[in-house]
Amino acid sequence: MKELREKLSFWSVLVLIVIIVTSFVITSCDSIANWGNSSDTNPSASIDNKTILTTSKTIIITTTTDTSDYADLFNQYRQDNGLKPLSFTDDLNEVAKLRLEELKTNFSHSSQEGYNQHLAENIVMGISSDRQALSVWDNSSGHRANMLNSSYTYTGYASGGGYAVQLFTSYPTVNGEPQLPPGWHWTD
């Protein structure tokens, strides 16, 4: 009987330790967003805008910038070139995210879903930061023309996975479609 109590006591203590350690780990990970899922072969976590990708041998850390950081960088670029800042809208940011996912499978200015219809667009692949996307576009005359077009008022931006997309328009948008003044119509 004494031996049975000792075994039960050992297992009770062990279970208690597991519960405490698990509670500590869960509490410690509480601020981590998207801690991977069971189908991930390379689990990832996002802490303070830093994405940590792990493999069995290495840890790769890449820094991402949210849209507000890019907006500051972009609008400073416009102001340095004597232009007014553009308004980054939630609507165009969402359309840019959809377009970004499309670019990952079909890198082309021809959107299969029509996400960029009636919008000017800058796209890039193979970048490691938002600053690099801006720099690549600045060194391309067509992309630079979009970024420095004084008639544009609104923009949206998304980046990820080495890709970036920025959309431009002179008119407010609804579901990514510019709203023309009364009496105006698209001719396409």
> Along the chain (188 residues), what's the average pLDDT of each consecutive run of 10 residues?
50 49 36 35 35 32 58 96 95 92 90 81 95 96 95 94 94 80 74
Per-residue b or e along 90-109, where b marks 16 or more CB atoms closer than 10 Å to that residue's CB? ebbbbbbbbbbebbeeeeee
Cβ(99)–Cβ(158) below 8 Å: yes
**Residue 28 CA: distances (Å) to CA of 6, 31, 160:** 33, 7, 27
Q: Please state the pTM of the whole predicted model.
A: 0.63
pLDDT of residue 188: 63
pLDDT of residue 12: 53
3-state SS assignment for residue 127: coil
N-terminal to C-terminal alpha carbon distance within the chain: 88
pLDDT of residue 6: 53
Neighbouring CB atoms inside 10 A of 38's CB total: 5
Give the whole-angstrom CA distance, residue 129 versus residue 147. Answer: 17
138 token code pair: 């600045």
Give the whole-angstrom CA distance, residue 162 versus residue 104. Answer: 9
As beta bridge partners, residue 180 has none
Give the whole-angstrom CA distance, residue 117 versus residue 110. Answer: 9
Give Dmax (Cα) for the chain. 93
Give the whole-angstrom CA distance, residue 169 versus residue 91. Answer: 12
Helix (H) or strand (E) holding 59: strand 59-63
pLDDT of residue 95: 92
